[in-house]
């Protein structure tokens, strides 16, 4: 794939790698669009049984590259508009596209996992992280709120008090704390190896049962994600336009 997203297939696995290591995999609009395209490519493959999502270089992802992403306010607005048939905009679909896949998506996290990068990891079904990984709902540092499906995924994983604590403070937390509150499934020295072992175990089960389990929980866990996405957009758009306007003055 272009724009710093790498995709390779190995047997029944798809490996998706954020590949902008010199910027700690800071996310650009092109990367978000290519994450969506990558997920669609995988969805068309009937031989894939699991996806392993990771980051190249020192970090999984440091989040949205704010300077680059806000250099064109019109592009932000265009990509902020949701497509009516899926109920997500570009920022949201770059995460939620992994939820739409019928196969398990396993995130292997190391280094920084901040902001939009964290929301991508949260959209995976399972998260393995190195002991030195760091996590932050970073948006408040820029005067924003999570708007890449983070409200939906946080609500499924941790209590509202912990979600508010992380969001309002934008504090950085370590992997042990993240595991304790449910942001991380397991802390391990080699998250890619752990992801591969889990993929092997899941591959011994019926693919229809695995897909059914994922679909069941996604459809029944808490409130409508579509409604949550609409609330995210309504909250975020005035904030992000204010930030873009202040930067252009």
Radius of gyration of the chain (CA): 17
The CATH number given to whatever domain includes residue 244 is 3.90.226.10
pLDDT at 2 > cutoff 70: no
- What is the rounded average pLDDT for all residues in the chain? 93
Residue 223 in this model has a pLDDT that exceeds 70: no
| Res. 248: pLDDT tops 80 | no
Residue 196 lies in a domain: no
Domain extent, residue 53, equals 5-190+206-248
pLDDT digits (tens, 9 = 90+) for 163-207: 999 999 999 999 999 999 999 999 999 999 999 999 999 999 999
Asked whether the predicted pLDDT for residue 249 surpasses 70, the reply is no
Q: Considering the domain boundaries, does residue 55 fall inside one? A: yes
- Whole-prediction pTM value? 0.91
Cβ pair 170, 138 in contact under 8 A: yes
pLDDT value, residue 121: 98
How many structural domains does the chain have? 1
The full DSSP string for 114-134 is EHHHHHHHHHSSEEEE-TT-E
Residue with tokens 């409508």: 224
CA atoms within 13 A on the CB side of 88: 22
């Amino acid at each position: 794939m272009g724009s710093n997203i790498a995709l390779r297939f190995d047997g029944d696995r798809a490996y998706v790698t954020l590949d902008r290591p010199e910027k700690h995999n800071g996310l650009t609009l092109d990367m978000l669009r290519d994450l969506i395209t990558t997920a669609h490519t995988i969805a068309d493959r009937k031989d894939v049984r699991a996806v392993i999502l990771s980051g190249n270089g020192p970090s999984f992802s440091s989040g949205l590259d704010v300077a680059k992403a806000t250099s064109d306010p019109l592009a932000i607005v265009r990509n902020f508009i949701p497509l009516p048939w899926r109920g997500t905009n570009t920022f949201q679909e770059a995460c939620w596209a992994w939820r739409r896949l019928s196969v398990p998506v396993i995130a292997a996290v190391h280094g920084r996992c901040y902001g939009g990068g964290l929301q991508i990891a949260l959209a995976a079904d399972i998260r393995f992280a190195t002991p030195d990984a760091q996590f932050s709902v970073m948006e408040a540092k820029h005067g924003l709120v999570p708007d890449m499906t983070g409200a939906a995924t946080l609500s499924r994983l941790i209590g509202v008090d912990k979600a508010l604590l992380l969001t309002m403070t934008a504090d950085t937390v370590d992997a042990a704390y993240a595991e304790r509150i449910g942001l991380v499934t397991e802390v391990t020295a080699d998250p890619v190896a752990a992801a591969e072992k889990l993929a092997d175990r899941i591959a011994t089960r019926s693919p229809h049962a695995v897909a059914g389990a994922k679909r069941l929980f996604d459809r029944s866990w808490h409130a409508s994600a579509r409604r949550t996405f609409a609330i995210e957009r309504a909250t975020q758009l005035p904030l992000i336009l204010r930030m873009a306007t202040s930067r252009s003055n």
